[in-house]
Structure 1
Amino acid sequence: MSAIMEAVRLVKRYPTGGGMLHAVDEVDLAIQPGESVGLVGESGCGKSTLVRLLGRLIEPTDGAIVFEGQDIAPVPLRRFVHDTARGRIQVVFQDPTESLNPTLTVFETVADPIRRLGTAGDRNALAAQVRKAIALVGLPPEMETRLPHQLSGGQRARVGIARAIALRPSLLILDEPTSALDVSVQAVILRLLADLRSELGMSYLFVSHDLNVVRLLCSRIVVMYLGKVVEEGPTEALFRDPRHPYTRALLASIPNPARRGQTPWRLEGSASSPIDPSPTVCRFYGRCPRQEDACAKTMPALRAVGSDGVHRAACHFAEETSA
């Protein structure tokens, strides 16, 4: 099966006063049709930059972004906003309050991308398409005339999702869409997202710092650290048997009453600088509890571990770190 989207050695660097900041560094990532992939890592690891690259909101420094068989990386941003692929890749942003135009009603917010990128003909066809998207996210018809400040946080989140699905995209990129919501509202929105993926057959790239949320929604997880993918694999396999020490640290940070009284597994040392990092030193060197000579001499490649061939880790000792 061909991937619906594939990043190939994708790079994004920013010039700074002291050199080049490697925000995304030769990342390979594939998303299959109908698949829900979780992207995790602590703040500053590059996941938000990767999301903006894949959504074609910023220009890549190097590499390819193959979407439905077409490399869209070379298309300039000002041209891509009118490209037919633009409507098939949609993004749901972290803060619905900031991402919604305060002067547009719910109806106009959802109608805007259809007018710009869709094929709705007359006014009646447009209205039908808008109302179908609004109904799909569970908002009642009387909400159509309201402005964002007249909505609750959960309702604003639903409007952001309705706007994104109005064009029936192939890929929905969700950039921490529930982090600004109360816990009770988060659960409702996550259930809605799961139902929409099943009903509309979309692929998801779900970005979150909450591993429990990712576990509920995603069948595969990709772990980033300092611009690199350090581990990826099926969700349950990664939770059960993490092969990279950074993944182990992330999982150990999840509150678990069963571990009460035990000494927590934690990282020591300090992170490497993302500015002009050495190409021959493991990015995790300096925080890793192992730190052997090989780690300071050779950057570990992302390679298959285990017998299934789909669980991969970038660690010289991945075979030895089975939980």
Structure 2
Amino acid sequence: NPMECDHNYFHDRETHGRNGAETIRVDGGRGHRWDAYTVIEHNLFVRCNGEGEIISIKSHHNTIRANTFRESFGAVTIRSGDYNRITGNFFLAFTEPMAFGARLHGLYNTVINNYMYGLERCIISSWGDTHIPYINPAQRAAMADEDNWKVHEARYRASYENTVAFNTMVQCGAAFTWFKRRLSRLDMRAPRHAGRAANLPPARWTVANNLVVNAQHFAVGFVSGEMGSGETVESVAEKDFHWSGNLIFRDQGEVDFGPGRAFATHQWQRIDPKLVPSQHRGVFRLSKASPAIDHAAGHFYDAGRDIEGQVRRGPKDVGADEYHPGSAGPLRPLTPQDVGPLSGAPPNVFVP
């Protein structure tokens, strides 16, 4: 049955140094195969450092929206699932050096309208060892349970047909990182997987209308090795990606697009977006002089509101914030006063 998880205050979860210490996990049964339809919204996560996955999604058709992640190690991870949506969240690293944004495996997942500040890596994915198509409930019902489980068994599913659009990334280490992962360590942990190779690159992604400001390491990078451990740099490329409407700017020095990659104007435009600080720490918004205003490419009907809950007018603005003179929408980074049992009635707001 669908589940709602909202207006909770998760904080000060100590590092466990092992797998299985997520703050929230939405499982999909044996083989991670079920449609869960869980909504996780309006929650505050502060110093949730249990492991590298703050929220772990292992099922289909879930929504993670309008949450705030502060000083928390790890990422919101679609570990194995399709048709999931990460939208309208604030990711604020501040003092946490290993804060991440969203990590994607699987099919038809969407990351849209998120604001990311000071993260080590914003969007992460990796090569997969197995391509598993989405299997709808009718197809699953016709399969024997053992066959249903086996068809979903994989270490890392191939990452196809995902969309990353209308996100703002400020003062982060790397905006996009795709890893060509070594699997020998996982072979030792799960011998039944031995011999599988991570040779399926991410493919057919849409990367559109994202705003990247002052990425410290590289803006878009494809690297090989274990994430954060002995990674090496090599020239590997995406497959059949669609890039449009993205803006990038670095106020000191040249933008580093990663190993073996050259700047391409059809993928990114190098423009100062003229951001101004808001009343919220770490959050920058478009100024009235920003060239990001009315600069978005394509229609993107599912981006009808921005991260603050304000209506996007056509043509839309690039990034998570739609410029509205002199006003801010009802959504903002959450504080402890907004969540938990003493917060009062949930606010009546639109969600992006």
Could you tell me the TM-score, scaled by structure 2's length? Answer: 0.29
Higher helix proportion: 1
Quick check: which has more Rg, 1 or 2?
Answer: 1
**Structure with greater strand percent:** 2
**Higher relative contact order (Cα pairs below 8 Å, separated by 6+ residues):** 1
- Normalized against structure 1, the TM-score is what? 0.30
